[in-house]
């Protein structure tokens, strides 16, 4: 057999574009438009590069304790990784090892099926209803694990903690993972359920709420038993996933949480403004509880609108996928950025430049 046939073939996740276009209004990867804060800046300015000859703390001990305090949990219930994508990758490897398929919604974070293919995990995608809502009874069937984002991505639709508790009550023998990447933009975290349900694992990120997508920090919160197993797998893979500077920055961010919550409130306000402004232009969308909106226009073609917005310096996200190929996912930026988006859409409509849906 040739060496070529011995190479692993996988279809990777397609991340949103990170183009280097001047003055681009970048609303395509759900980054936070605000600065990570004064405390983070101080840490970076005062950081001694001479510390970098040594390996970092392997389990990011100080940051782990700061986060445990923030969530009111014991540190043994906190796991840290290099971005929540890494935490998710380790979670799939650690938690989803049964014969039955794991379950997640058909419209969801598109990394989940990629991990399943990578690790040969069988999976079943359960259709959301036409309002993009999950149906809890779908999750009563046999499975080797459950995962979904709350609020869901890319729709922004939220489920309540009661909804999650109901799924937990019907799944005592499966790990139930709630991906809370966007929970701090108006949802209620399921962290309070961890003590009651040891099979619950919550995943969060520093990339969105904390404006730190550039340093790569992700978190898992769960029972000591599950967290210990995650550390065992992580330590079979990479002992030092979080560098020294990232650990210090993460800790400063946790200590500056009030500033970060104030930014989230501004984003929520701007989201309400943008939803209203888009509705006035005829767009329809589910209510969003995230830092993005998932909108479609009943007349204008979404892919065409995506292309024409890009030509005019506004980048949003378009997914060429069944059921959602007439929607655009629009990250909430600053109020000025969102006003510009609305202005550009108005211009395109007035100029008669947009193609109609076929």
What residues make contact with ligand PLP under the rule CB under 6 A? 30, 83-85, 109, 149, 153, 179, 181, 205, 207, 213, 218
Residue 167 or 181 with smaller CB distance to ligand PLP = 181
CA angle 179, 154, 105 (to 5 degrees): 65
Say how far apart CA 220 and CA 218 lie, in whole Å: 7
Of residues 61, 104, 94, 102, the one with CA closest to residue 226: 94
Residue 33 or 345 with smaller CB distance to ligand PLP = 33
Shortest distance, position 321 Cβ to ligand PLP, whole Å: 15
Residue 152 or 300 with smaller CB distance to ligand PLP = 152
Residue 37 or 83 with smaller CB distance to ligand PLP = 83
Tokens of 129: 């209803």
Residue 171 or 207 with smaller CB distance to ligand PLP = 207
User: Which residues have a Cβ under 8 Å from the Cβ of 185 and sit 6 or more positions away?
Assistant: 151, 208, 209, 264, 267, 268, 271, 289, 290, 291
Peptide bond into 178 cis (omega under 30): no
Residue 213 or 245 with smaller CB distance to ligand PLP = 213
CA angle 318, 321, 326 (to 5 degrees): 55
Specify the 3-state DSSP secondary structure of 126: strand
Residue 178 or 348 with smaller CB distance to ligand PLP = 178
Shortest distance, position 7 Cβ to ligand PLP, whole Å: 26
Shortest distance, position 84 Cβ to ligand PLP, whole Å: 3
Burial class (CB in 10 A: 0-12, 13-18, 19+), 188: middle
Say how far apart CA 10 and CA 29 lie, in whole Å: 23
Shortest distance, position 183 Cβ to ligand PLP, whole Å: 10
Tokens of 222: 């769960």
Shortest distance, position 15 Cβ to ligand PLP, whole Å: 8
Say how far apart CA 282 and CA 338 lie, in whole Å: 16
Report whether 190 contacts 327 (CB < 8 A): no
Shortest distance, position 83 Cβ to ligand PLP, whole Å: 3
Residue 68 or 213 with smaller CB distance to ligand PLP = 213
User: Which residues have a Cβ under 8 Å from the Cβ of 22 and sit 6 or more positions away?
Assistant: none
Say how far apart CA 170 and CA 55 lie, in whole Å: 44
Tokens of 216: 């790569």
Shortest distance, position 261 Cβ to ligand PLP, whole Å: 19
DSSP string covering 210-248 = TS-TTT--EEEEE-HHHHHHHHHHHTTT-S--S-HHHHH
Shortest distance, position 111 Cβ to ligand PLP, whole Å: 7
């Amino acid at each position: 057999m040739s060496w070529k046939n011995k190479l692993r073939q996988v279809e990777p996740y397609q991340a949103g574009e990170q183009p280097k276009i001047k003055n681009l209004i970048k609303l395509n990867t759900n980054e936070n438009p605000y600065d990570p804060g004064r405390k983070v800046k101080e840490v970076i300015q005062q950081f001694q590069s001479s510390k970098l000859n040594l390996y970092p703390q392997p389990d990011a001990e100080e940051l782990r304790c700061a986060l445990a305090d923030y969530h009111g949990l014991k540190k043994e219930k906190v796991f840290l990784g290099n971005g929540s994508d890494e935490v998710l990758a380790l979670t799939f490897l650690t938690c989803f090892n049964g014969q039955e398929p794991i379950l997640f919604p058909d419209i969801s974070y598109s990394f989940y099926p990629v991990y399943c293919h990578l690790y040969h995990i069988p999976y079943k995608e359960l259709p959301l209803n036409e309002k993009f809502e999950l149906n809890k009874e779908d999750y009563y069937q046999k499975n080797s694990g459950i995962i979904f984002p709350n609020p869901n991505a890319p729709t922004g639709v939220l489920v309540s903690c009661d909804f999650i508790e109901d799924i937990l009550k019907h799944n005592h023998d499966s790990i139930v993972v709630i991906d809370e990447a966007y929970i701090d933009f108006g949802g209620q975290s399921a962290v309070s359920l961890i003590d009651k349900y040891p099979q619950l694992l919550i995943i969060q990120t520093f990339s969105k709420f904390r404006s730190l997508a550039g340093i790569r920090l992700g978190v898992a919160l769960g029972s000591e038993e599950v967290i210990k197993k995650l550390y065992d797998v992580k330590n079979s893979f990479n002992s030092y996933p979080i560098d020294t500077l990232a650990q210090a920055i993460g800790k400063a961010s946790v200590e500056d949480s009030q500033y970060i919550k104030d930014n989230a409130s501004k984003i929520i306000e701007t989201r309400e403004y943008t939803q209203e402004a888009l509705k006035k232009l005829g767009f329809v969308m589910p209510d969003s509880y995230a830092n993005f909106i998932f909108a479609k226009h009943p007349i204008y073609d979404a892919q065409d609108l995506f292309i024409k917005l890009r030509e005019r310096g506004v980048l949003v996200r378009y997914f060429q996928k069944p059921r959602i190929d007439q929607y655009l996912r629009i990250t909430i930026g600053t109020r000025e950025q969102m006003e510009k988006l609305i202005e550009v859409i108005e211009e395109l409509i007035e100029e008669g430049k947009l193609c109609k849906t076929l």
